[in-house]
Amino acid sequence: MTTTQKTFDTATISKLDKSRVEVVGSIPAETWERFRSEAIKHINGSVKIDGFRNGMVPESVLIAKVGEMAILEEMAELALSKAYLDILIENKIDAIGRPEVHITKLAKGNALEFKAITSVTPEVKLPDYKKIASDEIAKSPKDEEKVTDQDVEDAILRIRKAHASHEGHDHEKMSTEEHDKAIMANLPELTDDFVKKLGEFKDIPDFKNKLSLMVEEEKRDAAREKRRIRIADAIVEKATIELPEVMIQSELDRSEAQFKADIERMGVKLEDYLKYAKKSLEEIRKEWQPSAEKKAKLQLILNEIAKAEKIAPEPKEVQEEVDRIVAVYKDADREHAAAYAETVLTNEKVFQWLERA
């Protein structure tokens, strides 16, 4: 616990659980009462009184309308917004989210006393992430990226199924078994002419060779994703982070926004989906919480590793990614796009670094 005397307030900072701090402070009467004219101006602009133009109500009439306490509360809010920011800066408090502020004493001629609780960026105690990454890579199956003849045949079958003719069948009225039989009965024959229609293939051997390379790339991507998930899970499990609630809720809000967008793209109303699923949005958010906590922790960990190992994308890389984002999403804000791009690119570089460590 530390006490800091400031030019216009006194603040006592105490650490709480869940990466929160409590600020108990006071602002001298002569300091917060200087905000009276500004407070009256603010209230004047929001109050409508017959016979007076907006913002031109005399102070005596305004006080008669809203009361002296409303003026004092506005003065306190203005003074607190400045004092709170100063406290954060002077005490090097990396606050996140909106603080929970309570005025504990508000009386004319007296010091303004208050208590504020805010979440802060949590401390991240990293485990030996290099060893964890190395161990998880060593556990990777040696043949998970190997392409077999059966892999190629399976890929060919999927392609033929995708091009199967369904003419003459009302698939909406078919059972799953009948639907599958109809597709298999209409599989196109694998010929040179067929593969030429699929792309730049000379014949069946050329098609199989190129398809094998594509399957190999897919398996390589899938293996890399599985490997990264194992590395991430192992580091998250061994890291020590006291995650603030505001970070979990922020991650849940992102999941909810994506969920709603996905539902809308399917042409389904959210309320209809919830009714069919027999769940409330609150129940779904509760189901998402473990995943949200893991995502929030992982991002903090990746940020910390990037800082420790001095990993960052080049400005040119960020700019190119921003250009790509705004080209696809015309209404995207470039500043937000830049922050997103930098995070995505940094995460990718951290994983690449871990895979080489």
- Give DSSP secondary structure letters for 268-289: --HHHHHHHHT--HHHHHHHHH
Cα separation values, 289 from 236, 253, 279, 286, 301, Å? 15, 11, 15, 5, 18
Strands 10-16 and 2-5 come out as antiparallel
Are 234 and 136 within 8 A, CB to CB?
Answer: yes
Are 192 and 204 within 8 A, CB to CB?
Answer: yes
Indicate the burial class of 308 (C-beta count within 10 angstroms; 0-12, 13-18, 19 or more). Answer: exposed
Please give the domain boundaries of the chain with CATH numbers for all domains: 2-121 (3.30.70.1050)
User: So what's the pLDDT on residue 181?
Assistant: 83
Position of tokens 């392409």? 147
User: So what's the pLDDT on residue 168?
Assistant: 47
Whole-structure pTM value: 0.80
User: So what's the pLDDT on residue 48?
Assistant: 84
**pLDDT, one tens digit for every residue, the chain (357 residues):** 444 445 456 789 999 999 999 999 999 999 999 999 999 998 988 888 888 877 788 888 888 889 999 999 999 999 999 999 999 999 999 999 999 999 999 999 999 999 999 999 999 999 999 999 999 999 888 888 899 999 999 999 999 988 886 554 555 566 777 777 888 888 899 999 999 999 999 999 999 999 999 999 999 999 999 999 999 999 999 999 999 999 999 999 999 999 999 999 989 999 999 999 999 999 999 999 999 999 999 999 999 999 999 999 999 999 999 999 999 988 889 999 999 999 999 999 999 999 997
Cα 275 to Cα 256: distance, rounded to the nearest angstrom: 17
Are 271 and 143 within 8 A, CB to CB?
Answer: no
Are 84 and 24 within 8 A, CB to CB?
Answer: no
